[in-house]
Amino acid sequence: MKVFVKYTSEAEDRARVSLIDYRPDLLSEEELQDGIMIDYEEAKDVPTGKAAILYVNPLSGLAWYELEDRPLSQEELIRFLQKELEEAKANAARIADIELALVELFSA
């Protein structure tokens, strides 16, 4: 899909996208002078705790994503802590089984 983007230049061939307009057909010629048209795809498979930041090469129109760290949302943090708790319980159960086996081994 073609979209219009505005960006902040970081180098001649690298710029961080600051605005995506999905309806460039509604923009005036004057507005279109402030950015470029690119082929756009949504970011896929972004890991938890990361943000996909869209970059563009203003010279070629090539676009790509780079992953940056971001804070976990409350829901993500709760899921993470629940998983950690489940793993801790499983480890505690394994330790208890090992301790019991050791007691039986050395008391026989």
pLDDT at 107: 86
pLDDT at 76: 93
Residue 39's identity, in one-letter code, is D
In this model, does residue 94 exceed pLDDT 80? Answer: yes
SS3 of 59-105: the string is CCCCEEEEEEECCCCHHHHHHHHHHHHHHHHHHHHHHHHHHHHHHHH
Q: What is the pLDDT of residues 14-68, one digit of tens each?
A: 999 999 999 999 999 999 999 999 999 999 999 999 999 999 999 999 999 999 9
Q: What average pLDDT score do residues 64-92 get?
A: 95
pLDDT at 26: 95
* Number of CB atoms found within 10 A of residue 11's CB: 8
